[in-house]
Amino acid sequence: MTDKTGDLGVILLVHTALDRASQVARHWAESGCPVVIHVDKDIAPKKYAGFVKSLSDLDDIRFSRRQRCEWGRWSIVGATQSAAELILQSFPDVRHVYLASGSCLPLRPIQELRSYLAQRPRTDFIESATTEDVPWTVGGLDIERFTLRFPFSWKRQRRLFDGYVRLQRKLRMGRRIPEGIVPHMGSQWWCLTRQTLSAILEDPKRKVYDRYFKRVWIPDESYFQTIVRLYSRDIESRSLTLSKFDYQGRPHIFYDDHLQLLRQSQCFVARKIWRHADLLYEEFLGNRDNPESRVEPDPSKIDRIFAKALECRTRGRTGLYMHSRFPKEGWENGLTSAPYSVFEGFSELFEGFENWLGRTTGARVHGHLFAPEKAEFAGGESVYTGGLCDSAAIRNNNPKALLANLIWNTRGERQAFQYGPDDTPDIRWFMAKDPNAQISVITGAWAVPLFHSNLNFSAIRTIAAERQKSESAFLDVLRSPYAKANVRVWTLAEFIEAPMVHLQTLIDEISPRAMRRLTEAPRMSDLAGFGQFLQNLKNHGMHPYLMGEFPKDDTNVQSGRPSVKPFVVK
């Protein structure tokens, strides 16, 4: 703990928002820190003069020689070097030098930072990691930052930049890393001791290093980070500046509504602050009478928020299709947002199947959502959640949208619906490819309603032929290697041999936590004479094969003569 001022020096790199930079420089200086400011040469002389004048009443402020700085290039390092030389020379009391930018904002009283550093007088705070250990790679360049040459500007000469990288890769051109150093990378914003910093600046081989780093890409994240490894006795590989980057390698910006977050983070300095975030500047630069706190910085909450933002931008919300997320086929990260069940043939075989299913599983059970006349929403509603419309025309215009919207709108509630050979075929591939779909098919069950119908036999024959063809095409889709859905297929004959077993499996899957024995079974349609009906179809030249084998003579039908009495368990 020391009251001696001037032990912490600050280098400010400034290239925009001079008004804010001036405010922050004043804050550092008035808190007893000598400041050296580098102002980008792109700033017009008149503005620069005004800036210098705005700080002219403060003694411990110096301005270093101006250079034109460009992101990703050597000039930023050059500017930092000359500012560092100036600060070490002009202020002999300085023990730690803090590198910050004009858009950095101190969050805690400077006194706290000074005490923190005073307790760690030999520690260099600089994030410094080898390239293998870090995932920060913008543009797919990691170790290549150090082994290729980058004479072109990424911002202004993108084509030349990319082309030259490709050329070097192709010709297997490379450059040798100067002897004695191992490339390290890390945040540009460091805090080094006088000993370490001066050793770096006075290194006998500095010319060699400088020449090398002039053609390295983004040297401001690697020059000091690499060379510090030669001299520092005590490296804390982290930055004292809270600085988050988005997936394009651009710093996240803080606004007024981040006030509480920033305060809770207990970080010493944050970057970058939006220049019009008046509240932040007012709060953090104003005099706070808080008792001095010695809490360690803890930016984990901020980390989480930015990690979530990154995930939103790169992975998005699964199953959501909207005007700023419309994935190409294959890039959806999941076609729908939640699991759902599709039943084909069940409501044909069992009377009141939908009600029964709803009661047993608690799922929302719809009729044929893709029926030719309209979308049969649960409860026969004409408009359903989210404002979905039962119009067949709207649905057929974009069947995927109906299904994806329904599943998205009802997040938290399991959906189930019926499907059949008469229904819109355009949805089949979408369901089949969707791992969220649980598709259960009793093939040939569509014949049961025909069997009970009062149609002329020639009409029945025609419909049966169409349905068989349609169902068979659906089965081909379900069996394709691209199908990712959870598919179960039984023939009608197979299913009625042990209906309860099959139903139990499905129910358990829909509501796994319930895990109870079915006590109530749906009523199965009366199938007496069904074998003969199929035989009649055959006799008319239509060969019904999807039902499986039904003996013509009903007396041989197994499963406890279900044809005489509807099948009920217990």
Query: Contact residues for other proteins (CB under 8 A)?
Result: 246-248, 250, 252-253, 255-257, 274-276, 305-306, 308-310, 312-317, 320-328, 331-333, 383-389, 391, 393-394, 397-398, 401-402, 405, 408-409
C-beta closer to other proteins: residue 401 or 459: 401
What is the spatial distance between Cα 37 and Cα 75, in angstroms, rounded to a whole number?
15
The strand ranges marked E within 121-210 are: 124-125, 129-130, 184-185, 191-193
C-beta closer to other proteins: residue 167 or 307: 307
Supply the minimum distance, in Å, between the C-beta of residue 322 and other proteins: 5
Supply the minimum distance, in Å, between the C-beta of residue 251 and other proteins: 8
Q: Reduced to 3 states, what is the DSSP secondary structure of residue 450?
A: helix
Supply the minimum distance, in Å, between the C-beta of residue 272 and other proteins: 9
What is the spatial distance between Cα 561 and Cα 556, in angstroms, rounded to a whole number?
8
C-beta closer to other proteins: residue 286 or 387: 387
Supply the minimum distance, in Å, between the C-beta of residue 510 and other proteins: 23
196 burial class (0-12, 13-18, 19+ CB within 10 angstroms)?
buried
C-beta closer to other proteins: residue 136 or 559: 136
Supply the minimum distance, in Å, between the C-beta of residue 381 and other proteins: 9
Q: Are 452 and 404 in contact (CB under 8 A)?
A: no
Q: What is the DSSP letter of 273?
A: B
Supply the minimum distance, in Å, between the C-beta of residue 51 and other proteins: 18
Supply the minimum distance, in Å, between the C-beta of residue 247 and other proteins: 7
| Rounded alpha-carbon distances, angstroms, from residue 47 to 19, 40, 71, 101, 392 | 10, 11, 22, 18, 66
C-beta closer to other proteins: residue 334 or 425: 334
C-beta closer to other proteins: residue 126 or 302: 302
What is the spatial distance between Cα 115 and Cα 9, in angstroms, rounded to a whole number?
14
C-beta closer to other proteins: residue 82 or 241: 241
Distance, C-alpha 35 to centroid of its chain: 40
C-beta closer to other proteins: residue 159 or 328: 328
236 burial class (0-12, 13-18, 19+ CB within 10 angstroms)?
middle
Supply the minimum distance, in Å, between the C-beta of residue 236 and other proteins: 27
Instruction: Give the pairing type, strands 350-351 and 523-524.
Output: antiparallel
Structure tokens belonging to residue 525: 């349609």
Backbone angles phi, psi at 535, to 5 degrees: -60, -40
Beta bridge partners of 523: 351
